[in-house]
Amino acid sequence: MNFLIISLIKAALVAFVLLTTLAYLQWIERKVIAHVQLRVGPYRVGPHGLLQPLADVVKLITKEGLIPSHVNHLFYLLAPFAAVTLALISISVLPFGPEIKIGPVTTWMQLTDLRIGILFVLAVSSIGVYGVALAGWASNNKYSLLGGLRSSAQMISYELPLALAIAAPLLLANTLSFRDMVNYQSGYWLGFIPRWNVFPEILGFIVFMIAGFAETNRVPFDLPEAENELVAGFHTEYSSMNFAAFFMAEYANMVTVTAVATLLFLGGWQPPFPEPYSDFVPILVFAMAGLVALYHGLNPARRMDKFTLPATALVFLGIAAIFGLSLFVPMAKIILMALFWFCGKVLLLLFVFIWVRATLPRFRYDQLMRFAWTGLFPLSMLNLLATSLVVALTTP
Amino acid sequence: MTALIFIIFAGLAVFCGINLVVQTHPIASALSLIGVMGSLAVLYLQLGGEFIAAAQVIVYAGAIMVLFVFVIMLLNAGAEATTFQVSRFVKYLGAILLAAFLGLISLVIQAELPATEGVLFGSFQGTALDVGRKLFTTYLLPFEVTSVLILIAIVGAIVLARKEV
């Protein structure tokens, strides 16, 4: 019974945080792209457009959900449901931190640990293509169908290098569980280089990230929804919450891919510096951000700056103070440090996703396929063979 | 609890299997087949074959069926038209014959199957480690022969599909 209650609390917490992150990820994306292109991005709803996601959600919920008359009803409605469910489900096996103890309760910062967790994520992502493919087919529209076809072909092709890139760190760690994978990456070479898989497996990491872009249908591989050839691709005929479901699925897939990359290659919640030094990094980061905001608030460039920037500074300094205080409470320190490093790495990779979207143009379809089969696939195969050789030679 | 889950997913597998045959639309049939594979994966999981379950979903539901759906979509196959009329007499006779056939099969199974203690939930040793060990020791030769067979099939497909230069 106790297990059930703890699981429910954890599931509610993770679901709430994940869904909020998905909404704000869109705000972050719009802001980052805007600043790359020398615009300001969303600015009207709330300070710096911070309430924009909320407004978008309200808009999408209250819009009329149109169902075109020429679609296949069952599959048309099933597709967004399948897409968003399969996108959200992977989070249940991803660990965010080590084992923690709150009062009498001992639990892991993870919903559940499967012995085959990595295979589970692969399985879920491999079925995830049905959402897009079905949407394209059920819409009964040539552009949607082309989008659906492209997405299935693309995801089958890029799943190969993705799986082969994942297999190399699995060989090193000799496990299929995310928890053991992160534990394997703890510790430091020569006392300061973290034992993350990204150093021996740099090739695998790069292949994984590129294939991850294709798996999530992101620029430069967003052929399924290429708007200058296919209107909006597979979700042309969708409106209201059905459309929002595809949007959510895309962002949830992005979070999953970056979280898996963090866990497999970047050491999960393990800090990049040895223990006593890494504790001061979050305090330093947040305090610096707070002080910079405070400085600009005291020398305001615009009229509202003398109110908004000190308020922001207060928030940052408050977070820095919380991290500082947590140094004296061992359990709070473990939780906060794990969350800081895990979320930091995931956010960094998400930033790379957005950065690439703002930078690179879209591939042509034949380029996309040639790149997967003649570039990434042999590369990941080579990486796997080299890793196997090293593992075979070093293990007794 | 385990029995309940078994009944749910075994029922789902049977339902999807029947649905696969009954449906006239190819996409609906393909999706039913995915349902069958998913339910079977759950049953494998219940037996303790976690690796087999994951492989079932990744390989069958995630790769092979995606290709099926892809081809159906590419050909844009519509609902199959029923070209023949079935008389009522044939329907009744068919139902009786089907019942007799199923009864015969269950009778044969009952009579021929040795009395064992049955399979227990979770009794199967199917972790990735066990499967890997078995593949590379006991079943090494069949495993390698199968891979060569698949390689031949791939090369054959490429030769057949190659454009004349």
B102-132 confidence digits (pLDDT tens):
999 988 888 877 666 666 666 677 777 888 8
| CB spacing of B54 vs A129 below 8 angstroms | no
Same domain, B88 and B42: yes
Residues contacting residue B47 through CB under 8 Å, at least 6 positions apart: B119, B121, B122, B123, B124, B126
Within 8 A of A126 by CB-CB distance, chain B residues are 57-58, 61-63, 66
Residue owning tokens 């990359």: A261
Residue B85, min C-alpha distance to chain A (Å)? 26
Enclosing domain of residue B62:
2-126
Same domain, B131 and B121: no
Same domain, B85 and B136: no
Task: Give the residue from A76, A156, A215 with the most B CB atoms within 10 Å of its CB, the best one to mutate.
Answer: A156
Same domain, B144 and B159: yes
Same domain, B10 and B86: yes
Alpha-carbon span B151 to B156, nearest angstrom:
8
Task: Give the residue from A176, A215, A369, A388 with the most B CB atoms within 10 Å of its CB, the best one to mutate.
Answer: A176
Alpha-carbon span A310 to A307, nearest angstrom:
6
Within 8 A of B66 by CB-CB distance, chain A residues are 126, 129-130, 133, 152, 155-156
Same domain, B136 and B146: yes
| CB spacing of B128 vs A115 below 8 angstroms | yes
Alpha-carbon span A97 to A337, nearest angstrom:
9
Same domain, B7 and B50: yes
| CB spacing of B27 vs A75 below 8 angstroms | yes
What sign has the CA pseudo-torsion A376, A382, A385, A389? Answer: negative
Same domain, B12 and B82: yes
Flag whether the pTM goes above 0.90.
no
Helix (H, G, I), strand (E, B) or coil at A107: strand
Residue type, A298: L
Alpha-carbon span A368 to A271, nearest angstrom:
36
Show the CA angle centred on residue A116, arms to residues B48 and A218, nearest 5°: 140
Helix (H, G, I), strand (E, B) or coil at A364: coil
Same domain, B131 and B115: no
Q: What is the ipTM of this complex?
A: 0.76
Task: Give the residue from A3, A137, A175, A391 with the most B CB atoms within 10 Å of its CB, the best one to mutate.
Answer: A137
| CB spacing of B63 vs A122 below 8 angstroms | no
Q: What is the pLDDT along chain A (396 residues), one digit of tens a residue?
A: 677 888 888 888 888 888 888 888 888 888 898 988 888 888 888 777 888 888 888 888 888 878 777 777 788 888 888 888 888 888 888 888 787 777 777 777 777 777 888 888 888 888 888 888 888 888 878 888 888 888 888 888 888 898 888 888 888 888 888 888 888 888 787 777 788 888 888 888 899 998 888 888 887 877 777 777 777 777 777 877 888 888 888 888 888 999 999 888 888 888 888 777 777 888 888 888 888 888 888 887 777 777 778 888 888 888 888 888 888 887 778 888 888 888 888 999 999 998 988 888 888 888 888 888 888 889 999 999 998 898 888 877
Same domain, B94 and B25: yes
Whether residue A83 contacts residue A249, with contact meaning beta carbons closer than 8 Å, is answered with: yes
Same domain, B131 and B111: no
CATH code at B61?
1.20.120.1200
A→B interface, C-beta within 8 Å: 75, 114-116, 119-120, 122-123, 126-127, 129-130, 133-134, 136-137, 145, 148-149, 152-153, 155-156, 159, 176
| CB spacing of B54 vs A122 below 8 angstroms | yes
Same domain, B52 and B82: yes
The per-residue pLDDT for B146 is 92
| CB spacing of B63 vs A136 below 8 angstroms | no
pLDDT tens string A375-390: 888 999 999 999 889 8
Within 8 A of B127 by CB-CB distance, chain A residues are 115
Count of domains observed in chain B: 2
pLDDT tens string A227-252: 777 777 777 778 778 888 888 888 88
| CB spacing of A116 vs B128 below 8 angstroms | yes
